[in-house]
């Protein structure tokens, strides 16, 4: 482990989300491997990477890791392309 890379990962607690939220994340998915939406995922975990909140899980169908970027309401407007 070194401190020289730029990928700053901050652990977050997926379980802090509401049941509704969790349900949405676990069902409204995009799988790159299957090239299909809403297949569902399991084993969710949540973290922040370089200021972007990401929910990561495994595709229910193929088991590949599926990432969902979360638009955080608190960043309001600063979400779009950084330049
Ligand atoms: Zn898949």
Alpha carbon distance 63, 14 (integer Å): 19
Spacing, Cα 82 to ligand 1 middle (Å): 30
Cα–ligand 1 centroid distance for 34 (angstroms): 4
Q: What's 5's DSSP letter?
A: S
Residue 2 has pLDDT above 80, yes or no: no
pTM for the whole thing? Answer: 0.72
Structure tokens belonging to residue 73: 């309401």
pLDDT value for 80: 54
Give the C-alpha separation, 7 to 18, whole Å. Answer: 28
Looking at residue 38, its pLDDT comes to: 94
Model pLDDT for residues 12-65, shown as the tens digit of each residue:
999 999 999 999 999 999 999 999 999 999 999 999 998 899 999 999 999 999
| Domain limits, the chain | 9-71
Greater pLDDT, 6 or 46:
46
59 alpha carbon – ligand 1 mean position (Å): 5
């Amino acid at each position: 482990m070194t401190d020289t890379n730029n990928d700053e990962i901050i652990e977050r607690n997926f379980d802090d989300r509401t049941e509704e939220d969790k349900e949405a994340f676990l069902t409204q998915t995009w799988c790159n491997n299957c090239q299909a939406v809403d297949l569902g995922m399991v084993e969710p975990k949540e973290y922040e990477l370089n200021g972007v909140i990401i929910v990561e899980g495994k595709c229910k169908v193929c088991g590949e890791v599926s990432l969902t970027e979360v638009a955080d309401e608190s960043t309001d407007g600063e979400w779009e392309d950084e330049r």
